[in-house]
Amino acid sequence: MITVTLLVAAVCVPVTGRLGDLLGKRRMLLACAVPLIAGSVVCAVATSVVPMIVGRGLQGMGMGMVPLGIALLRDVVPAERLSGSIALVGASMGIGGGLGLPIASGVAQYVSWRVLFWGSAVLAVIIAALIRFLIPDVPASAKGQRFDALGALGLAYGAMPALIMRAVPLGETAAANGFNTLMRSLGTSVGAAVIGVVLAQMTTTMGGFTSASEDGFRTALVIGGGVALVSALIASVIPAARTTAADGGADDTARAPEQAAVEA
């Protein structure tokens, strides 16, 4: 069930990100809410595995809301508050995941797993309403540019690593965040599989029960630390954003009237 969601998201998230640059991020946020709501309802009423898979796939189509929402911050939040806003959104996702897992397990155990999907549908409707009435409609930053349909199809087979948001042009913000989310989703899937194999192979038996051993967890942590170190090394060679001559000229032109007024 999780696999189909991640596979669909791996293809749809970068596509919706690029469409957000071309058509408007708010419009694409509302569009992503539709399959998210539909998928939650399909899963809630599913009586077999096939509609459940279909519903989870529809939910994967709605995962583009995450990078689109982060990219939209650049358009609606003042520059001095942008870093803090992005950090707040990132923290909220971590907190939501930390609280969601135990709450979901409790609901599934003591009420019904269907309630989880009905709750997801209701939350998606509320979020869509908030986006519709509270989020300003910002003009598309890459309006008029061409959508690479062939490249979008190629996402089913591979993807490019993303640059950080501050290192890309304004017209590619949502697309870059889409690739970032794609790589995080793929990394989560591969990492979970690798660690699962490690823990399954390094076990111990106690009281007739077999469980992952301490050495298994230690090995998993070492692997995680090594991957984090490699990520830090890669991040250290990412070039910083540079101000071009055109940007500097634009700034000088914008400051010229103000300087003239001061001199006068």
In a domain, 235, yes or no: no
In a domain, 209, yes or no: no
Q: At what angle do helices 79-110 and 65-76 cross, to 10 degrees?
A: 150
Q: Tell me what pLDDT residue 166 has.
A: 58
Q: Which residue in this structure is represented by tokens 């101000």?
A: 243
Residue 70 contacts residue 177 (beta carbons within 8 Å) = yes
pTM over 0.75: no
Residue 171 contacts residue 21 (beta carbons within 8 Å) = yes
In a domain, 264, yes or no: no
From residue 113, give the alpha-carbon distance in Å to each of 91, 127, 188: 27, 22, 24
Residue 42 contacts residue 55 (beta carbons within 8 Å) = yes
Q: Tell me what pLDDT residue 123 has.
A: 92
Report the domain count for the chain. Answer: 1
In a domain, 247, yes or no: no
Q: Tell me what pLDDT residue 34 has.
A: 93
In a domain, 124, yes or no: yes
Q: Tell me what pLDDT residue 261 has.
A: 42
* pLDDT block averages, 10 residues each, the chain of length 264: 74 82 87 92 91 90 85 83 80 77 85 91 93 84 67 51 55 69 74 84 82 85 85 72 49 43 42
Which CATH number goes with the domain that contains 171?
1.20.1250.20
The pair phi, psi for residue 163, each rounded to 5°, is -85, 155
DSSP character string of 25-55: HHHHHHHHHHHHHHHHHHHHH--SHHHHHHH
What is Dmax (Cα atoms) for the chain? 89
In a domain, 221, yes or no: no
In a domain, 261, yes or no: no
Q: Tell me what pLDDT residue 2 has.
A: 64
Q: Which residues constitute the domain of residue 115?
A: 2-201
In a domain, 228, yes or no: no
